[in-house]
């Protein structure tokens, strides 16, 4: 029996700087997962993924990631996605630079 579809967000890495990004409802990319479009329908999720994959000059490695509704928007349900929301871990730059001080 196939597993039931769970809510997803479309995520990828920004082509120029490699930062984790998420697709918003208005077809933009954001570096804040809470601004991403939370998708509850499997067919719609596939369409949104195709849109992401059609932008190789903007993002790379697009995929659907499990998420859940949170108080401020989508939240990760897996440690990998939680890690990606914080940015690179090797030194303070990108998202971590804001909290390094």
The pTM of this model reads 0.83
Q: Is residue 3 part of a domain?
A: no
Query: What is the spatial distance between Cα 99 and Cα 87, in angstroms, rounded to a whole number?
Result: 11
Of the two residues 98 and 84, the one the predictor is more confident about is 84
Total of domains in the chain: 1
Q: Is residue 2 part of a domain?
A: no
Q: Is residue 1 part of a domain?
A: no
Chain-centroid distance of CA 30 in Å reads 8
pLDDT in tens, 8-26: 999 999 999 889 999 999 9
- Check residue 86 and give its pLDDT: 82
| Terminal-residue alpha carbon distance, the chain | 50
Query: Length of the chain, please?
Result: 101
Domain hosting 21: range is 8-98
Mean pLDDT of 2-9: 91
pLDDT in tens, 34-84: 999 999 999 999 999 999 999 999 999 999 999 999 999 999 999 888 888
- Check residue 99 and give its pLDDT: 58
């Amino acid at each position: 029996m196939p597993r039931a579809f769970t809510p997803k967000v479309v995520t990828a890495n920004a082509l120029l700087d490699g930062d984790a990004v998420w697709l918003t409802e208005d077809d933009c990319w954001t570096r804040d997962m809470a601004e991403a479009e939370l998708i509850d329908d499997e067919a719609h999720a596939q369409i949104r993924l195709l849109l992401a994959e059609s932008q190789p000059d903007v993002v790379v490695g697009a995929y659907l990631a499990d998420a859940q509704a949170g108080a401020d928007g989508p939240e990760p349900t897996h440690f990998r996605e939680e890690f990606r929301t914080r940015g690179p871990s090797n030194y303070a730059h990108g998202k971590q630079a804001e909290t390094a001080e």
